[in-house]
A and B are shown apart, each in its own frame.
Chain A
Amino acid sequence: EAGVVQSPRYKIIEKKQPVAFWCNPISGHNTLYWYLQNLGQGPELLIRYENEEAVDDSQLPKDRFSAERLKGVDSTLKIQPAELGDSAVYLCASSFGTGGTEAFFGQGTRLTVV
């Protein structure tokens, strides 16, 4: 069974440019998470989807970040415009259900804004 797939693995962009990340969760997983992880720290939740509905986006900086999961399967996370402080690893995870069920993570996208 394929795991959570993210692309690209690495992205280097200049500040003020847009960038998008893509995530394909494990088949059948209705919950999808986007996390931001700074070096050596724990992941911080940006947004959580249950199917196509964003049920928790309280930590998403909505002035520049947006996300969608139109068909309740794969998802994209966009930043426009990117700032230097956005440099981090963006992790996608999925789970079958919520509330303590195991979350499976992708390898992440390492973003560097220069």
Chain B
Amino acid sequence: TQLLEQSPQFLSIQEGENLTVYCNSSSVFSSLQWYRQEPGEGPVLLVTVVTGGEVKKLKRLTFQFGDARKDSSLHITAAQPGDTGLYLCAGDPASGNEKLTFGTGTRLTIIP
């Protein structure tokens, strides 16, 4: 059972466009992480958010943690081909079982 649902599952857009990827759950998380994974590689951490309502920016990427700590979003401005990859959110449940649970993933393709 996936606790974290990501949408959309697939997204293909032109270079220069903006996009938002969502990560939703009915569970509360102590923290939430976003990873990017390229083919043949393991996921690489982009950011960790820990406070409800928190917003973090990493160059053209903006991450937001929902006020209730149940959801998160990743917004990319002026997408570039190098942004192509599988984006994964992962949460640390507040229930205390300390299991890093991954979302279903969003496969992003940026067309030059």
Contact = CB atoms under 8 A, between A and B. Distances in A.
B31 A103 contact: no
Contact of A100 (B30, B42, B103): B30
A104 B48 CA distance: 13
Given A42-B2, A48-B99, A100-B50, A91 B42 contact: yes
Given A33-B100, A45-B100, A100 B44 contact: no
Range class of the A interface residue count: 20 to 34
Contact of A42 (B44, B50, B104): B104
A100 B40 contact: no
Contacts of B44: 105
Interface string B34-74: 00000011111100101000000000000000000000000
A107 B107 contact: no
B42 A98 contact: no
Contact of A103 (B6, B40, B100, B103): B100
B97 interface: yes
B33 interface: yes
A4 interface: yes
Contact of B102 (A44, A48, A107): A44
A44 B48 CA distance: 19
B42 A99 contact: no
B48 A100 contact: yes
